[in-house]
Amino acid sequence: MEGTTLIQGRYRLLERIGRGGMGEVWRARDESLGRRVAVKCLRAGRSRGGGLDDELHQRFRREARVAASLQHRGVTVVHDFGDSEGTPFLVMELLEGLNLSQLLKENDGDPLPVADIWDIAQQICEALAYTHGQDIVHRDLKPANVMRLTDGTVKICDFGIAHLNQEPGFTARTPNAGAAMGTPPYMSPEQISGRTVDERSDLYSMGCVLYELATGAPPFDLEDTWSILIGHTETEPTPLRVVRPGLPEELDRMVLALLAKEPHDRPQGASEVSDWIQRARLDTGPLVPSPRGGPQELLPGWALGIRAGLAPGRLPRGRTPEPSPLSARWTLPRPGLEPHAAVLGALPTPATVEERHALGLSLGHNGRWAEAGELHQQVAAERAAALGPDHPETLSSRYELGFALSRQGRHAAALTEFEQVAAARERHFGATHAEVLDALQESAYVLDGLGRHEEAHRTYTAVLAAREASAGPDDPETLRCRHNLAFNLSGLGRLEESCRLSHEVAAVRARVLGENHPDTLSTRYEAAYALGRLGRWEEALAMYGLVADARARALGPDHPDTLAARYETGISLGRLGRSEEALALYRELAAARSRAQGVGHPETLRARHGIGVNLGRLGQWEEALVEARAVTALRAGTMGPSDPDTLVSLREVAVALGWLSRWEEALTIYRQVAAARDRVLGATHPDALTSGNDEAHCLEQLGRHTEATAVYHRVAQIRRSART
């Protein structure tokens, strides 16, 4: 591939120089400007639909968006960002130097000279003061993410999990998983415990970095990751001068202040730390940073996948081991310190099968279904070998494996697990045992996911009868089965029955659980959906409004569940011809989504799409065209040019052009949409057939009736062949 691959006709990949968890990094040449650059390409796992893993894809795009907004000598410069054949890429300046982890390694693991520590600290502070001034918190500051170039310049890299601090409810959590992220040896206590983080969390991480530069190891260089995390939250760090006598007292004081457990006990901003450093350097007299080794062309540590910090058990020279606050054996979390996802992701494999089973449950609880599934699969195999394939504990692991597979959309694999678990449990416990019914109900759920609605319906009906007989009609599991059955009836096209059952379940849940319980509101949402499909939009509007108001009171006006109900309210208003109200709602919704999830989030763009549609319904076609083009560009940039949602927005561009009598332009876009839908969805997909009719209608408007007739005939033939 070297020297041959050309991305977007401009960036020639010359040599792969790094590989990390998110991507590969290549030394490349910008053929347009004749300069050397670094190109980072996402190399994520594939999702069930064959596309890139959504979470990694989103994180990569977030890194591009955040990094591209920063212009400072202490931050890696981003030149360009795009998508090449479905693979996102990021073009950056090519850095010559070493990251701080490599710098320590080059120094044989010994700490750095004091002059170098002060110099690096000062430059990190300047870069952090700038990024924090842009309302951005890095959240993963560590030696591998700080480069020192051959000319002595220090640059912060990798904004892959950075967040815009102006977003309401800003926390150390990823948008999709609701999970803390970071690197354990450098995580602040508030990151570990899942509390809100701000710029003071970066200052804590900076303290960890400086501690390692000064002593050769991070402050809690313990035997296992869990002990490191407990060290951050519960143990005071050993003073630097105890580990390395002769260090300046002011450096010791400053680093320990940065490592305060509570954010309000630390310096309150990077500028404050910078002033502290300047005073300390004046007090100690001029210090000249030590000469560096020869230049080395490298990318940041995140690109190279280099593990920061010392390996477990290794200590810097001259440092005596100290007892760990915990044994080396992984232990389950105590109350008050929940296993957030970054903690879980960093943990070594627990010692016992039971602990690993519990860890798998925690991963699933945090939405990390792929990792949970892998762990449950391993545990199930070990339990089968030790206890037998039909032992209840083996079956419990296989049940959890099926659950993880179903939540990844791998319905066929999940069905195999659930059916085999149900059969084995039935042999042991009998057909109506609760655990048998659990497995059967989940098998019905994945049958629906496979489009096998009739089989799912038979299973749901049998499970519901057994649950009502054994647990009663008001039992939460009975109600959950009835809720799922209502969803199944909708899939079968039995909308009246679905609607009636949803209303019944909602009424019982309201009586048993409460009017505003999330389960009650979920069933009412389902009832509203069925009402809409029946064309009963007035009733649907009232139901969606009720759900939205209740969720706003319970969860907050900007909670995703609240916003989802408000979006459907807008759909109902539009269907009722109340486009002015729908337009106002979608404008409010787009603003709320932008605040909560960002301007490029798919749900934000759905709301903006609604703005364009309702502008058109009101006859404001020039404005509708502007909005449709903007949404199309954003969707193409974040989801890809051939994503179905992108194509929906592109079609709206053509619709607006047609209403503006710009039929030649509309025809070009209709044909572009039709070709993409044929390629992505298949020629028999309803959207692809709609595009064919769009093209024919456009040809008619241009007076090209013969061509229009040919297109209509082609579409009709495809419909007939699809039915047969």
Domain shared by 168 and 273, yes or no: yes
With a CB cutoff of 8 Å and minimum separation 6, the contacts of 535 are none
Closest C-alpha among 110, 113, 76, 176 to residue 602: 176
Helix (H) or strand (E) holding 291: none
Which residues are tagged catalytic?
Answer: 140
Mean pLDDT, residues 422-426 taken together: 93
Where among 46, 73, 93 does a domain terminate? 93
Percent of the chain with pLDDT over 70: 82
What domain count does the chain have? 3
DSSP string, 513-556: T-TT-HHHHHHHHHHHHHHHHTT-HHHHHHHHHHHHHHHHHHH-
User: Cβ distance 438 to 424 under 8 Å?
Assistant: no
Domain shared by 174 and 259, yes or no: yes
Mean pLDDT, residues 625-640 taken together: 91
pLDDT tens track for 447-496: 988 889 999 999 999 999 999 998 888 888 899 999 999 989 988 889 89
Domain shared by 117 and 63, yes or no: no
Flag whether 282 is in a domain: yes
CA 103 to chain centre: 32
Q: CATH number, domain at 432?
A: 1.25.40.10
Residue 181: which pLDDT band, with cuts at 50, 70 and 90?
A: low
Q: Report the alpha-carbon distance of residue 195 to residue 174 in Å, rounded.
A: 13
pLDDT for position 311:
26
Flag whether 655 is in a domain: no
pLDDT for position 59:
67
With a CB cutoff of 8 Å and minimum separation 6, the contacts of 242 are none
Domain shared by 105 and 199, yes or no: yes
Residue 316: which pLDDT band, with cuts at 50, 70 and 90?
A: very low
Domain shared by 182 and 229, yes or no: yes
Least reliable range by pLDDT among 56-65, 126-135, 293-302, 574-583: 293-302
Q: Residue 30: exposed, middle, or buried by beta-carbon count in 10 A (0-12, 13-18, 19+)?
A: middle
The dihedral sign for the CA sequence 189, 192, 194, 197: positive
Q: What is the dihedral of CA 82, 84, 85, 88, to 10 degrees?
A: -60
More confident residue, 6 or 21: 6
pLDDT for position 53:
56
More confident residue, 480 or 166: 480
Residues of the binding site for ATP: 40
> 3-state class of 90 per DSSP?
strand
Q: CATH number, domain at 181?
A: 1.10.510.10
Residue 283: which pLDDT band, with cuts at 50, 70 and 90?
A: low
The amino acid at 685: H
Least reliable range by pLDDT among 73-82, 289-298, 415-424, 479-488: 289-298
pLDDT tens track for 219-238: 988 767 777 888 898 888 98
Least reliable range by pLDDT among 112-121, 144-153, 338-347, 567-576: 338-347
Domain shared by 86 and 157, yes or no: no
Flag whether 334 is in a domain: no
pLDDT for position 71:
72
More confident residue, 246 or 588: 588
Residue 648: which pLDDT band, with cuts at 50, 70 and 90?
A: very high
User: Cβ distance 244 to 318 under 8 Å?
Assistant: yes
Which own/partner pairs from 497-502 qualify as long-range (CB within 8 Å, at least 24 positions apart)? 498/526, 498/530, 499/527, 499/530, 499/531, 499/534, 502/526, 502/527, 502/530
Domain shared by 89 and 125, yes or no: no
Q: Report the alpha-carbon distance of residue 197 to residue 180 in Å, rounded.
A: 10
With a CB cutoff of 8 Å and minimum separation 6, the contacts of 287 are 114, 115, 118, 119, 281
More confident residue, 318 or 280: 280
Compute how many other C-beta atoms are within 10 angstroms of the C-beta atom of residue 543.
27
Q: CATH number, domain at 68?
A: 3.30.200.20
Flag whether 233 is in a domain: yes
Q: Report the alpha-carbon distance of residue 191 to residue 183 in Å, rounded.
A: 10
Residues of the binding site: 40
Q: Report the alpha-carbon distance of residue 349 to residue 180 in Å, rounded.
A: 19
The dihedral sign for the CA sequence 282, 284, 286, 290: negative
Where among 462, 480, 510 does a domain terminate? 462
Domain shared by 419 and 399, yes or no: yes
Flag whether 417 is in a domain: yes
More confident residue, 660 or 225: 660
More confident residue, 595 or 324: 595
pLDDT for position 538:
95
Flag whether 531 is in a domain: no
Compute how many other C-beta atoms are within 10 angstroms of the C-beta atom of residue 314.
12
State which of 150-154, 279-283, 515-519, 546-550 shows the largest mean pLDDT.
Answer: 546-550
Domain shared by 158 and 177, yes or no: yes
pLDDT for position 235:
87
Where among 271, 289, 304 does a domain terminate? 304
Domain shared by 101 and 44, yes or no: no
Question: Can you give the residue range of the structural domain that contains 81?
Answer: 6-93
Flag whether 57 is in a domain: yes
Average pLDDT of the chain, as a whole number? 80
Flag whether 52 is in a domain: yes
Q: Report the alpha-carbon distance of residue 221 to residue 211 in Å, rounded.
A: 11
Domain shared by 63 and 88, yes or no: yes
Least reliable range by pLDDT among 300-309, 335-344, 483-492, 573-582: 300-309
Domain shared by 86 and 101, yes or no: no
